[in-house]
Amino acid sequence: MSTETGTAGNGTEGGPAAVEPASRRARGRATMKDVARLAGVGIKTVSRVVNRESGVSPAMAVRVEAAVRELGYRPDAGASALRRADGRTSAIGVVVDDVANPFFAALLRAVEEVAVRHGTVVLAGSADDDGSREREVAQAFTDRRVDGLIVAPSGSAVDELGSEVDRGLPVVVVDRAVEALRVDQVLSTNELGAADAVSHLAAHGHRRIAFLGDRTSIPTARERLAGYRQALAAAGLPVDERLVAADLHGEASAEGAALALFTGLPDGTWPTALFCAQNRVTIGVVRALRRLRLEDRVAVVGFDDFPLADLLQPGVTVVAQDPTRVGTTAATLLFARIDGRAEAPRTVWVPTTLLRRGSGEIRPDGAALSAAARG
C-alpha cells in the first residue's frame, strides 16, 4: 500500500495517510483523494467509477470499488454540485403555510414521492401565512441553490419569487393562484367547488345560506366567496350580507361567528344552511352547532375534506380537494422544467369532489329551528 503518488502536495497530512481520512472538516469522511490513493489510481478514475461513467476497465473498477467500501466513501453532493456543469443540487424546496396542516402535509408527502424517484431531496418550510417569513424560507432554499421550488404563496411576497423566476429558477405555484407570476400553477377549482357546495344546498330547498370563510387576503378565500355569490345568483337567491362572515381565522373565530349568526340576527332571518369555505372554519362551525344543538337542523357543507368528517354525527358533507394529486402534479411539472421543458407556463386545475355525508342533505325546517334554539 505504498502508493505515494508524490504529486499530492497536501501539506496538512501526515502519519498513516492511506487509512487516515484526510480532513477533519468532513467529519472523518474519506474523500475521493483518499480513495484514489488507497486504490493507487488517479482521482478522476474514482470519479468515473463513482458516477458510473463508461470507459473504465473492469480491473480498475474493482480496485476502486474495494477502496470505496473499505473507506466507507460517500461522495459529497454539495461539492459535486458546485463543480458540475449543470449546477444541479438534486434538492428542491417546498414552501407551504404549515407542514402540519393535513392538506399541506399530504401535498408534501406527494411531492416527496416524486422527488425520491428523481433522486432528489426535499427541503420543507412553513411560511405561516406571513409574507416576510415566506421570503426568508424561500431565500434560505435558493441560497442552497435548490433545483426548483414549489410554493403555496401567502399572497404578498411574490415579487422576490418573481426575480428568481426571471433568473430561471423553476417554480411551481400550488393551491393559491398568482396572476403576476409566469409559472406553472396547480390549483383546486375553488370557485367551481364552492358553487357546487352552495348549489347543493339550494337544491335541497335552502334559501338562506350563510357563508363563513377565511381571511380574504388569501386568494382561495376570495375565490370561494365568489363561487358562493355566483351559485346564489344562479339559484335566483338574493345575497344577504348579514349572512356573510368572511375574514375568519381559525376554529375559535369560526365558532364565534356561527354562534353570532343565531344570536345576533332577528328571529326568522336565521340561515338554514351554512357553507364553510375552509377546513378549520368547518370544524369551528360544527362545534357551534353542537353547542346550540342544531347539528341535525341546520345544513352544513364544508370546503376541503378532513379526517373523521364521516364519523361525526351527522357526517359532514364536504367539497373535497385532492392534495395528493395537487402535489404529484406540481412535482411532475417542476421536474419537467428542471429537465429543461421550455413551454409556456401552464395552469392545471385539480377538480374537487362533493362528498355527501348527511350534514349537507338536511332540509330547511324554520319552525323547528327557532324552537330548538330558543329552548
As given in the structure block, the three cell numbers for residue 367 are 319552525
**Residue from 1, 4, 19, 51 that binds DNA (CB under 7 A)?**
51
Report the SS3 class of residue 315: strand
d(CA 65, CA 317): 59
Q: Are strands 209-214 and 273-276 parallel, antiparallel or unpaired?
A: parallel
66 is an interface residue for a second copy by CB under 8 A? no
- Least separation in angstroms between CB 335 and DNA: 19
**Between 4 and 33, how does the x/- string for binding to DNA read (CB under 7 A)?**
-x-x-xxxx---------xx-xx--x-xxx
State the binding partner of 44 from a second copy, DNA, none, CB within 5 to 8 A by kind.
DNA
- Least separation in angstroms between CB 27 and DNA: 9
Inter-helix orientation angle 43-50/58-71, to 10°: 90
144 is an interface residue for DNA by CB under 7 A? no
Rama region for 199: left / alpha / beta (φ>0; ψ in -120 to 50; rest) = alpha
- Using the structure block, give the residue that is written with the C-alpha cell 352552495: 198
State the binding partner of 353 from a second copy, DNA, none, CB within 5 to 8 A by kind.
none
Residues touching a second copy: how many (CB under 8 A)? 61
Residue at 299: amino acid letter: A
Give, for 348, the enclosing helix (H) or strand (E). Answer: strand 347-350
As given in the structure block, the three cell numbers for residue 64 are 476502486
- Least separation in angstroms between CB 119 and DNA: 13
- Least separation in angstroms between CB 73 and a second copy: 11
Q: Are strands 317-320 and 299-303 parallel, antiparallel or unpaired?
A: parallel
Q: What Å distances lie between residue 178 and 66, 153, 158, 225, 356, CA to CA? A: 53, 8, 8, 17, 31
343 is an interface residue for DNA by CB under 7 A? no
d(CA 120, CA 149): 12
Residue at 278: amino acid letter: Q
**Residue from 52, 57, 266, 340 that binds DNA (CB under 7 A)?**
57
333 is an interface residue for a second copy by CB under 8 A? no
For a second copy, the closer CB: 98 or 240: 98
List binders of a second copy among 287-306 (CB under 8 A): 287, 290, 306
State the binding partner of 167 from a second copy, DNA, none, CB within 5 to 8 A by kind.
a second copy
CB crowding 174-205: b at 16 or more within 10 Å, else e: bbbbbeebebbbbbbbbbbbbbbbbbbbbebe
Contacts of 253 (CB under 8 A, 6+ apart): 284
- Using the structure block, give the residue that is written with the C-alpha cell 326568522: 268
Q: What Å distances lie between residue 27 and 50, 75, 77, 252, CA to CA? A: 20, 13, 15, 49
List binders of DNA among 80-99 (CB under 7 A): 80, 82-86
**Residue from 33, 109, 229, 325 that binds a second copy (CB under 8 A)?**
109
216 is an interface residue for DNA by CB under 7 A? no
**Residue from 99, 237, 244, 259 that binds a second copy (CB under 8 A)?**
99
List binders of a second copy among 67-86 (CB under 8 A): 72, 74-79, 81-82, 84-86
For DNA, the closer CB: 9 or 119: 9
**Residue from 125, 153, 271, 302 that binds a second copy (CB under 8 A)?**
125
Q: How far is CA 373 from the centre of its chain?
A: 40
Q: Is 360:317 a contact under the CB 8 Å cutoff? A: yes
Q: Alpha-carbon dihedral of residues 291, 292, 297, 299, nearest 10 degrees?
A: -60
Residues that bind DNA (CB under 7 A): 5, 7, 9-12, 22-23, 25-26, 29, 31-33, 40-45, 47-48, 50-51, 55-57, 59-60, 75-76, 79-80, 82-86
Residues that bind a second copy (CB under 8 A): 25-29, 72, 74-79, 81-82, 84-87, 89, 91, 98-102, 105-106, 108-109, 112, 116, 119, 121-126, 136-137, 139-145, 163, 167-169, 283, 286-287, 290, 306-308, 311-313
